[in-house]
Structure 1
Amino acid sequence: MSGQGSLWDIYGSRLSAATFTDLTHAFHPGQPKFPSFPDEQRNTVLDHSKGDSFQVHHYAFVGQWGTHVDPPVHFIDGGRTIDELPVSEMLLPLVILDISERVAADPDATPTLDDIAAWEGRNGRIPENCFVALRTGWWPRWPDIAKFQNKSADGVSHTPGWSKPVLEELIEHRGITAIGHEGIDTDPGLATSAGDGSLEYYVLSRDCWQIELLANLDKLPEAGALIVASWPKPKGGSGFPARAFAIHEAAS
């Protein structure tokens, strides 16, 4: 296994020279969150400053906290739980759909089928069993809650999100495994402000999973990268903070 052509050889010849980009926000109390969720509580159980020989924290937070994974069971009764997502789905080809320029002019912008057609015109067909991330330019607003929610005077949140035609095309006709985005929700703010989470329901109902609150998507190529997304394995878990990163060619 250590000879030429092994995974060790691929690591030595390609991956060791690649760029590794962290796509994860460090979570902490007081960060942006779904409005009805409680804030994180963190206590120091043991600490060097108290004369203890090691440091231990006690954490209390909802599963959907910070950059996190949503398995199908999050919305779908009987859907796959976190521990049922196989590790083979934690390393996937990464596709970036970039609508950040439109979002800069209109925070309510969502992707269109033309965005898929344009991406495929440049890169070829979106590969099956991949991870598609929506780049909106929203992640640098972290950790400012007001900027993340971007509410107008009437209390409506103006944030970008996915669109049903694009999700249907990706899931039904491209056979993707998972999606991700920089915002708190799959659905745009105009929908979530009205209590509409139908796009997230749709994604999870198709046995796909997702990563929310991704960071640094602007540092990645739109094609050719890999994403590694991992998380703890709570039995029957419906969501948990995740650590996600991309592996891609170094910038020339």
Structure 2
Amino acid sequence: MSGEEPRLWSLHRELTEGTVFTDLTHAFRPGQPHFPGFGDERRETLFDLARGDGFTVHRYTLAGQWGTHVDPPSHFVAGARTLDRIPVREMVLPLVVLDITARVAADPDATPTLDDVTSWERRNGRVPAGSFVALRTGWSRRWPDPEAMDNRDGDGVRHTPGWSREVLRYLFEDAGVTAIGHEQADTDPGLAASAGDHGLEEYVLARDRWQLELLAHLDRVPEAGSLLVASWPRPHGGSGFPARVFAIHPAV
């Protein structure tokens, strides 16, 4: 063997020496915000070092769509790709951040427009094919307060930001992105989701794409130039699972 450092080891050293790793994941726990139909997380301590056992083990009972999580196409589309059929090469992607935080602060029902995408591309070049696009809204600052996350009015209607069809259509059909993600609990804005309209989420998943919900700390990541790494367990036929997500990027 030669004394040269293997290429991938060299790339790893260069990557880790000059970059920041930012966790984009909420730590999940009982009592956190969740869809009412799921019920709360339950934990049972099967073995415990504090009780004199030789190790600690918990049993977790929770819905797949819990905390920061991944939605595969099969979440909404019968016969579509399940978690175990998403290849690991899709889990490391260029990260694009669309920031509409200022608009959401003034109007919680705000959604992105094509002007937002055009402005991003004017500053950074075309949205890369095969990338992951995250919608930054500032909503994750409300976590883990269920009432603040839902932001319901007196009639029980949720006022939360979401995606828009025009932007999703551009990202998937023109730019050719691989996946999207957002800080709020739904792809669709709260006004639509409150009425049972999840058409935008269905639009995404019906295109054999996946998404991440309830992302955190997008304010710590630049709008361009980062890598997103998303991982999750591989349940056979799985329709959703908590995910561990992080960004690798230059210092902001």
TM-score, structure 1 normalization: 0.97
Hey, what's the Cα distance between the residues in 1 that align with 2:204 and 2:142? 25
**5+ long unaligned stretches in structure 1:** none
1:150-185 superposed Cα distances (whole Å, 9 cap, x missing partner): 000110000000000000000000000000000110
After superposition, where does 1:1-252 map in structure 2 within 5 Å? 3=4, 6-251=7-252
Gaps of 5+ in 2: none
Q: Matched residue of 1:156: which SS?
A: coil
Report the 3-state secondary structure (helix = DSSP H, G, I; strand = E; otherwise coil) of the residue aligned with 1:190.
helix
Runs of 4+ in 1 over 2 A off after TM superposition: 1-5, 13-17
Distance 2:157 2:244 in 1: 31
SS in 2 for 1:153: coil
Is contact 1:2-1:8 (8 Å) kept? no
Q: How many residues align?
A: 251
Shift of 1:34: 1.5
d(CA) in 2 for partners of 1:4, 1:168: 44
Instruction: Give the distance between the partners of 1:235 and 1:224, measured in 2 at CA.
Output: 34
1:80-135: CA deviation from partner (whole Å, max 9, x where unpaired): 00000000000000000000000000000000000000000000000000000000
CA RMSD, Structure 1 to Structure 2 (Å): 1.2
How far off its partner does 1:2 sit?
7.8
Aligned residues: percent identity?
63
| Residue 15 of structure 1: how far off its partner (Å) | 2.6
Pick closer, same or farther for the CA change 1:121–1:143 going to 2, 3 Å: same
- Give 2:237's aligned amino acid: G
Q: Distance in 1 between matches of 2:125 and 2:214?
A: 27
Structure-2 change in CA distance of 1:120 and 1:30 (3 Å)? same
